[in-house]
């Protein structure tokens, strides 16, 4: 069930009514409604997925309980390993089995030992990468004694399968999300209003920005060999907006929907394209995954408090694993490694934020440097997205090569797409960038009541433009979210 579908528009009010009016007596009743709703939501894709998530839930629930009872280190390690093995095993099988088989075949064939293919037709369960990491964080935190294991199976099941963030995050920490399922929730007016704002803004990002960019991006990436340099650059930039609108739009809607049920989720995006350097970008992009890797991979590997060579290794491990997490394709691995390369200078030059030099502070130069920083960071990010979007690495290199190689650089002929207007998209992008800029330092949009957007006359007008744009940009069939495939 997609957030941007009619099914969900019917589903959400039903769950809202059941949660606040039918199951209002106790926390357990409320959790039960959320659990049933989550399973309906997830089973809407394919009911067989429910076995997987139930299995993962049961395993981690009991491992958590045994971990709390067990004091012997070797047994505790064994329990943790079981959880890691089960969760990553499921993920590995469903997501990476065919990738590894295909690569083994390629390697053996290369050395003159061709072997027959035995790839399976495996359906990737939606959101498996997200809930696997979420349950893993729980077991690891219990293992580290940072968290008391949950005794209430329903509360734990809701934590694993909570529908707003089940299929595309944010990947929540047990320490933050679980306690919210322990106590009876009371409806808060402000949360409800914030929820509505976030859902609308998320829909705008998804439908107006991402889905409007998609046809152009698809067309340009499909015809990259015939397109001019300028068109290829536009294609890469539009993909940057597409993936941002798509993924952050989903996160905003997830956070907004959760607020309807009195649950707070972590902020997943903070206007990342206004970052002044790459480390800042990674503090603002997919925050829940970045912090997950920081806490459960980078720091256990030694973080940045080791020898230089170890730190460099750690940085690359995290970025490459992060890339691989996105999908079973070398393009994602390359994308991750490239971001690792981008990240390295910040390690050597401790502060790239030159504007903090006293001489420049609050001056025109400071603002100019900020602007240049944003421009360079955005350009580097767009460059990396080409690898992320391409079917394979050689395609990405040809794409980039064609940007510079073609003689007809300014020929925009290939931007003509029947039924879609680049002018309309351009207008929407400007509107989007302005709103994003206004809230660039906030946790989410419309959070600050002191700017002109909250003017009594201006505010409804902005809402009207947003809603009108959503209606006018809606496709006949609800488009899926890019991050579902991860």
Nearer to another protein, 20 or 96 (CB): 20
The mark string for 17-56 relative to another protein (x by CB under 8 A, - otherwise) is ---x------------------------------------
Nearer to another protein, 357 or 467 (CB): 467
In the complex, least distance from residue 39 CB atom to another protein, rounded to whole angstroms: 26
Nearer to another protein, 177 or 208 (CB): 208
Here the tokens at position 43 are: 């089973």
- Span 311-350, contacts to another protein by CB under 8 A: none
Q: How far apart are the first and last CA of the chain?
A: 16
Here the tokens at position 342 are: 């981008």
In the complex, least distance from residue 196 CB atom to another protein, rounded to whole angstroms: 7
In the complex, least distance from residue 31 CB atom to another protein, rounded to whole angstroms: 19
Nearer to another protein, 218 or 474 (CB): 474
- Span 405-424, contacts to another protein by CB under 8 A: 419-421, 423-424
- How far is the CA of 297 from the CAs of 82, 225, 283, 340, 409, in angstroms? 18, 40, 16, 15, 44
C-alpha to C-alpha distance for 414 and 424, rounded to whole angstroms: 17
- Taking contact as CB under 8 A, which single stretch among the options 189-197, 226-234, 377-385, 403-411 is the one that binds another protein? 189-197
Q: Look at the chain and count its residues.
A: 486
Nearer to another protein, 58 or 424 (CB): 424
Say which DSSP state 271 is in. Answer: -
- Span 195-224, contacts to another protein by CB under 8 A: 196
In the complex, least distance from residue 273 CB atom to another protein, rounded to whole angstroms: 25
Is 326 among the catalytic positions?
A: yes
Nearer to another protein, 67 or 257 (CB): 257
Judge whether 256 and 196 are in contact, CB under 8 Å.
Answer: yes
- How far is the CA of 391 from the CAs of 46, 328, 395, 399, in angstroms? 27, 11, 7, 11
Q: Is 112 in the site for another protein (CB under 8 A)?
A: no
- How far is the CA of 8 from the CAs of 2, 268, 472, 473, in angstroms? 6, 22, 19, 18
Nearer to another protein, 178 or 200 (CB): 200
In the complex, least distance from residue 460 CB atom to another protein, rounded to whole angstroms: 8
Here the tokens at position 467 are: 């809603």
The mark string for 437-476 relative to another protein (x by CB under 8 A, - otherwise) is -----------------------x--xx--xx--xxxx-x
Nearest to 195 by CA among 3, 422, 347: 3
Q: How many CB atoms lie within 10 A of CB 305?
A: 8
Q: Is 189 in the site for another protein (CB under 8 A)?
A: yes
Longest dimension (CA), the chain: 73
- Taking contact as CB under 8 A, which single stretch among the options 162-170, 186-194, 301-309, 366-374 is the one that binds another protein? 186-194
Judge whether 198 and 258 are in contact, CB under 8 Å.
Answer: no
C-alpha to C-alpha distance for 266 and 443, rounded to whole angstroms: 9
Here the tokens at position 5 are: 């579908």
**Active-site position among 286, 326, 414, 444:** 326
Q: Is 192 in the site for another protein (CB under 8 A)?
A: yes
The mark string for 142-181 relative to another protein (x by CB under 8 A, - otherwise) is ----------------------------------------
Nearest to 165 by CA among 203, 121, 130, 216: 130
Nearer to another protein, 92 or 215 (CB): 215
On the CB side of 134, how many CA atoms lie within 13 Å of its CA? 30
Residue with tokens 């597409």: 242
In the complex, least distance from residue 462 CB atom to another protein, rounded to whole angstroms: 12
- Taking contact as CB under 8 A, which single stretch among the options 27-35, 125-133, 187-195, 224-232 is the one that binds another protein? 187-195
C-alpha to C-alpha distance for 420 and 416, rounded to whole angstroms: 8
DSSP string covering 160-201? HH-HHHHTT-----HHHHGGGGTS-----HHHHHHHHHHHHH
Count of residues near another protein by CB under 8 A = 21
In the complex, least distance from residue 319 CB atom to another protein, rounded to whole angstroms: 39
Q: What residues form DSSP beta bridges with 417?
A: 420
In the complex, least distance from residue 187 CB atom to another protein, rounded to whole angstroms: 5
Which residues are designated catalytic? Answer: 326
Could you list the residues that contact another protein (CB under 8 A)? 20, 187, 189, 192-193, 196, 419-421, 423-424, 460, 463-464, 467-468, 471-474, 476
């Amino acid at each position: 069930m997609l957030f941007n579908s009619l099914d969900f528009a019917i589903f959400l009010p039903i769950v809202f009514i059941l949660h606040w009016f039918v199951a209002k007596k106790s926390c357990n009743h409320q959790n039960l409604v959320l659990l049933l709703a989550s399973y309906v939501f997830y089973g809407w894709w394919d009911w067989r997925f429910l076995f997987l998530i139930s299995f993962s839930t049961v395993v981690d629930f009991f491992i958590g309980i045994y971990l709390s009872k067990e004091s012997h280190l070797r047994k505790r390690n064994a329990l943790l390993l079981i959880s890691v093995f089960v969760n990553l095993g499921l993920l590995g099988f469903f997501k990476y089995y065919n990738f590894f088989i295909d690569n083994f075949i390629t390697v053996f064939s290369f050395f003159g030992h061709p072997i027959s293919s035995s790839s399976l037709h495996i359906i990737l369960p939606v959101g498996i990468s997200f809930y696997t990491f979420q349950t893993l964080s729980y077991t690891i935190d219990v293992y580290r004694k940072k968290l008391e294991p949950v005794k209430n199976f329903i509360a734990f099941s809701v934590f694993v399968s909570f529908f707003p963030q089940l299929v595309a995050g944010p990947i929540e920490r047990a320490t933050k999300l679980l306690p919210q399922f322990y106590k009876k929730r009371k409806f808060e007016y402000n949360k409800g209003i914030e929820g509505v704002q976030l859902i609308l803004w998320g829909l705008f990002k998804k439908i107006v920005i991402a889905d409007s960019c998609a046809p152009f991006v698809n067309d340009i990436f499909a015809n990259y060999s015939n397109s001019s340099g300028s068109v290829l650059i536009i294609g890469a930039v539009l993909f940057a907006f597409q993936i941002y609108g798509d993924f952050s739009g989903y996160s905003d809607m997830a956070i907004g929907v959760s607020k309807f049920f009195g649950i707070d989720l972590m902020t997943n995006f903070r206007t990342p394209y206004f970052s002044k350097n790459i480390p800042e970008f990674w503090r603002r992009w997919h925050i829940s995954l970045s912090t997950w890797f920081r806490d459960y991979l980078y720091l256990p590997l030694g973080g940045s408090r080791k020898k230089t060579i170890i730190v460099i290794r750690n940085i690359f491990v995290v970025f490459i694993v992060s890339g691989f997490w996105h999908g079973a394709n070398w393009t994602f691995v390359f994308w991750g490694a490239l971001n690792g390369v981008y990240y390295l200078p910040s390690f050597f030059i401790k502060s790239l934020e030159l504007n903090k030099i006293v001489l420049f502070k609050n001056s025109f130069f400071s603002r100019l440097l900020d602007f240049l920083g944003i421009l360079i960071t955005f350009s580097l990010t767009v460059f990396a997205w080409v690898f992320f979007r391409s079917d394979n690495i050689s395609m990405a290199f040809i794409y980039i090569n064609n940007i510079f190689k073609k003689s007809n650089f300014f020929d925009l002929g290939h931007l003509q797409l029947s039924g879609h207007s680049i002018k309309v998209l351009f207008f929407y992008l400007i509107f989007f960038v302005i709103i994003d800029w206004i809230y660039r330092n906030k946790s989410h949009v419309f959070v600050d009541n002191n700017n002109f957007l909250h003017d009594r006359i201006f505010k409804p007008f902005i809402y009207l433009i947003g809603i009108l744009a959503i209606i006018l940009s809606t496709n006949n069939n609800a488009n899926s979210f890019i991050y579902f495939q991860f």
